[in-house]
Amino acid sequence: MHNEGKIMSENYEDDDFDSNEEDNSIPNLRKAASRSKKLEAENQALKRQIAFSKAGISLDDPKMKYFIKGYEGDMESDNIKAAAIEAGFLVQTEPVTDTRSHSEGQQRVMAASAGAIPEDVTEEAALSRMEAAMEEGGMEAFLDVVQQYGIPTSIEQ
């Protein structure tokens, strides 16, 4: 019996496929061909799922299932994504290319911070603020300052 190069997957064992039969028997060859066709179809389906996932298409979204089922184009992720956008299944998110709107936003931020004094965020400055809060307002004021620095003040169980 000649078995070199033959791979049997546990998931795809065919009850009708008899590995004890001679490899070149007609019934065994037919069963092997049928099994091969099933595996090829599953392989193509998995490749398709991967292509849609790479394109950012949610395989679990009911709307997208219609798109996936009906898509017959090229399986490159960029082409799939473009077709989904064109068909209205995805919204195109483009980076801001209008420098005018970017600079306007930057000017608003600069105007809002005009005249502000940068806060000293060194460890010494933080400790100083905590000490001053403790002296002036007690434990409650101290905890407020500690929380401003993002330090947890209670242990949650």
User: How much is the average pLDDT of 82-91?
Assistant: 87
Q: What is the mean pLDDT of the chain?
A: 77
Q: 93-124, pLDDT tens digit by residue?
A: 765 555 566 677 777 777 766 665 556 667 78
The C-alpha atoms of residue 71 and residue 32 are separated, in whole angstroms, by: 31
According to the model, what pLDDT value does residue 148 have? Answer: 82
13 exposed, middle or buried (CB, 10 Å; 0-12, 13-18, 19+)?
exposed
Q: 144-154, pLDDT tens digit by residue?
A: 888 887 787 77
The C-alpha atoms of residue 81 and residue 90 are separated, in whole angstroms, by: 8
- Among 86, 76, 12, 28, residue whose Cα is nearest residue 48: 76
According to the model, what pLDDT value does residue 22 have? Answer: 60
The C-alpha atoms of residue 1 and residue 105 are separated, in whole angstroms, by: 76
The C-alpha atoms of residue 34 and residue 137 are separated, in whole angstroms, by: 82
Query: Within 10 A of 80 (CB to CB), how many other CB atoms are there?
Result: 24
According to the model, what pLDDT value does residue 20 have? Answer: 52
The C-alpha atoms of residue 146 and residue 5 are separated, in whole angstroms, by: 68
User: How much is the average pLDDT of 6-31?
Assistant: 63
